[in-house]
Amino acid sequence: MNDERLSRKHLARRYGPPALLVLLGLLAGLGFGLLRPPGYAAVAHVAVVAQRPDGPQTAQSFAQAYGRLAALPETLELSPSLPRPAARARRHVEVSTSPDTPLIRITGTGSRPERAAAYADAAADALVRYGAVHAADTGVRVALMSWADRPLSPSTPNLPLAIAVGGASGLLLAVLLYAAAGRTPRTGRDARRPACPDCGARAAAGREAEPAGVGN
């Protein structure tokens, strides 16, 4: 009975802290997913169309360039419908360009569905205006492919992802704690204790049993 209790205590001391870290990580992820305010994302699409005979290659090259310019304040301020000043609105606009086609994806984010769509549409409108200003020099025009639809559900937070990230973080800390505990050297009484409890007694008994004439 005592051995069973000692075994349980040993297991609790050894695996209790790592298990607690994993549990705390899961609870932290759950709390983050439940308490963080929802965020919405809406997407508008813009295409770059070549107006010269060299065609697709030129359009693709300018699409990559326009994709890098779309979220700049200097470009965003061309749209009269931007919900906020361009410097602040930039944080609510994300741009990506297709590697195969001259298509630019503009994502607007916001705390409300209509605000997310407003950012995406304003950024798309600004890019179209910017392309029109430089069309004579570039030989391409920027055309609106689609306005952003109001999202029906929030894109963040993702509750399962938040729980998974929290649990993984707790597991990582638990592994590091377990590894650090395994590398910690024994000190004090444990360090002086021999690996074999009976080794000292056996050695003494062997010396007593050794014949007196041996070693002379």
Mean pLDDT, range 36-41, rounded to an integer = 82
- How far, CA to CA in Å, does 20 sit from each of 15, 167, 173, 180? 9, 11, 10, 16
What's the mean per-residue pLDDT of the chain?
79
- Residue 57 in domain: yes
- Residue 108 in domain: yes
Three-class secondary structure of residue 93 per DSSP: strand
**Predicted pLDDT at 209:** 54
Q: What is the pLDDT of residues 142-170, one digit of tens each?
A: 999 999 999 888 776 666 776 788 778 87
- Residue among 175, 176, 173, 165 nearest 31 (CA): 165
- Residue among 70, 55, 149, 81 nearest 105 (CA): 70
**Predicted pLDDT at 83:** 87
- Residue 15 in domain: no
Residue 143, φ and ψ in degrees, nearest 5: -120, 140
- Residue 90 in domain: yes
Torsion angle of alpha carbons 111, 94, 108, 148, nearest 10°? Answer: -150
- Residue among 85, 95, 89, 149 nearest 117 (CA): 149
The domain that holds 103 is classified in CATH as: 3.30.70.1130
- Residue 72 in domain: yes
61, pLDDT greater than 70: yes
108, pLDDT greater than 60: yes
Work out how many domains the chain is built from and give that number.
1
- Residue 187 in domain: no
**Predicted pLDDT at 216:** 43
- Residue 190 in domain: no
What is the residue range of 122's domain?
Answer: 40-146
Maximum average pLDDT range among 12-21, 48-57, 134-143, 176-185: 134-143
- Residue 95 in domain: yes
Q: Which residue has the tokens 């051995």?
A: 3
